[in-house]
Amino acid sequence: MRRKPVSCLALLLLSSVLAVAAAAARADDQAERFELGRRLAAFEAVWQQQKDPRARTRALKHLQDAADAFLFKFYMGEGRQREAARALDRARFALESDKELPAALLWAESLFWNPDRRFIDTATPALPVHLLPYYQVKADLPGAARLRLTLLAGHGKPPLAKSETAIAKLPLRVKLSLKAIPEGDHLLRAEVLVAGRVLVHSEQTLSCAARLSPRLQALHTAVAAWPRASGDTQKETVRGLADLLERLSRKHLLETSYPACRLLGEAEAAAAAIARGKPFYGCKKPGEFWLTLALDTKRVPARLAVPEQAAAGKPLPLVIVIHGTGGSENMFFAAHGPGLLPRLCRQRGWLLVAPRSSFAGPPAIPDLLAEVDKLYPVDKKRVFLIGHSIGATHAVNVAQQTPRRFAGVAALSPAGGSVRPSKGLVNLPIFIGVGSEDFLMKNLLVPGNAATLRRQLEKAGARKVCYREYPRVEHLTVVLTALPDAFAFFDRAAKR
């Protein structure tokens, strides 16, 4: 059997994915990923507001440094993520001003804070919180520096708890006293002040549940009674949530903010429904769900966004998104906008599913489609694929295998791959979006990039290729820049 050619970039990205996958299993690395994601979202928020070409040009070098650190310097271990975070911060600073930051602000921006855990019992008397440097800067700890912590109720009522502590040295460990905290997914805010002025602030979800340990134990007991190889998405989702919630309760600081209290309630209700022989997930419920899809012999974590239109029970268009190197099912929800992709789908009343890819690529997409269709009826004539970076390469490869299954494909900054002639590709709408400053476009040693993909598709007979190159945009920002155009392209395809 002849093997398909693989570009040198694809091999390098594969090595990076393997390193990321190995590191992501460590709890401390998950906290690092959370912090990197927070800084990416902070940068993207400024990028979307700042339209001045000069400001965006100032940020470009730092963005390219961030992509280089995260994608290729995997040999640095956790230092790779911190180097990428430093570059993202510098890109954000460059967007905001052409002047150097004051030393005190530079110092405050370099800090990293974490609660002891993000899922606690409502009877917990105090929550330890740690503050430490995330990366090194040429700035000393300023005088009159303080850390203010505020716990805000999820429903927006007055603060549930507050504390303020002087920062005499780093790392700093403080305790936020808690009393009579209600159940819910609340917001924990940290602010760094110097001389009474707030320099930086950020927030994380802190979930609180009554009788947490016995409820988790009851959930594990219910799950243990089910066959391990159940092949049932309802059961596998409850099993996956039980493991996730246990990790959150045991000081594992995972890569994204989970609404753990809500997820615990869902898992309990799902387990009770299963005991009655009834399904819980699907059933015309709109909302956002963390699922474990039972695909043949595999269990695939996935995030599913379901619009209000699902309540009618009619088939809906479906968008399947494939993340890039080092990403996960949370990437297109917590970053790239953030939340731009779910918002675009929600505006149209479309389903959205983001599966977790392995180092070998995404799960079997036809099986994924069939499993989503069991939960919510899918309009088979309007199924769309989106991918970024190596995920874009996977999206094109998947589309080549069964082109008539998809109504359109969006490949954003594809990284390598090859195209085979296929009759099915002739009329398949394919959108290619890339930044003019993408390192893949600049590196002549890389054989597979967006321009190459375009030529290969046209040579293979594809007649509905839309190619967009965005000025002053590189590998990271192409997603939030190109997604609106990709969806306008999908809108036209959906009306065929």
**pLDDT tens for residues 371-390?**
999 999 999 999 999 999 99
Residue 74 has pLDDT above 70, yes or no: no
Residue 268 has pLDDT above 90, yes or no: yes
- Tell me whether residue 267 is in a domain: no
CA-wise closest residue to 216 among 85, 120, 331: 120
- Tell me whether residue 277 is in a domain: no
Strand locations in 351-405 (E): 351-355, 378-388
Q: Which of 101, 127, 152 is the last residue of a domain?
A: 101
- The three-class DSSP label of residue 471 is coil
Polymer length of the chain:
496
434-451 average pLDDT score: 75
393-422 average pLDDT score: 88
Copy the structure tokens of residue 213. 């340990």
- Tell me whether residue 323 is in a domain: yes
- Name residue, tokens 């390098």: 12
Handedness of CA 245, 247, 250, 251 (dihedral sign): negative
Domain of 455, CATH number, reads 3.40.50.1820
Alpha-carbon distances of 202 from 68, 150, 187, rounded to whole Å: 26, 11, 10
Provide the pLDDT for residue 25. 42
Copy the structure tokens of residue 80. 């790779």
Residue 31 has pLDDT above 90, yes or no: no
Higher pLDDT, 74 or 336: 336
- Tell me whether residue 15 is in a domain: yes
* CA torsion angle 206 211 215 218 (round to 10): 160
Q: What is the count of structural domains for the chain? A: 2
- Tell me whether residue 407 is in a domain: yes
- Tell me whether residue 197 is in a domain: no
Range of the domain at 36: 8-101
What are phi and psi for residue 469, nearest 5 degrees?
-115, 125
- Name residue, tokens 């911190």: 82
Helices (H) and strands (E) in the chain, counts: 15, 16
Q: Which of 50, 73, 101 is the last residue of a domain?
A: 101
- Tell me whether residue 237 is in a domain: no
Phi-psi region of 461 (alpha: psi -120 to 50; beta: other; left: phi over 0): left
Q: Which of 73, 101, 129 is the last residue of a domain?
A: 101
- Tell me whether residue 179 is in a domain: no
Provide the pLDDT for residue 236. 96
Residue 276 has pLDDT above 90, yes or no: yes
Residue 441 has pLDDT above 70, yes or no: yes
Whether the upstream peptide bond of residue 338 has omega within 30° of 0, thus cis, is yes
Residue 288 has pLDDT above 90, yes or no: yes
Provide the pLDDT for residue 193. 98
Distance between CA atoms of residues 93 and 43, nearest Å: 9
**pLDDT tens for residues 325-337?**
778 999 999 888 8
Look at the pTM and tell me if it is higher than 0.85.
Answer: yes
What is the DSSP annotation of 32-80? HHHHHHHHHHHHHHHHHH---HHHHHHHHHHHHHHHHHHHH-GGGTHHH
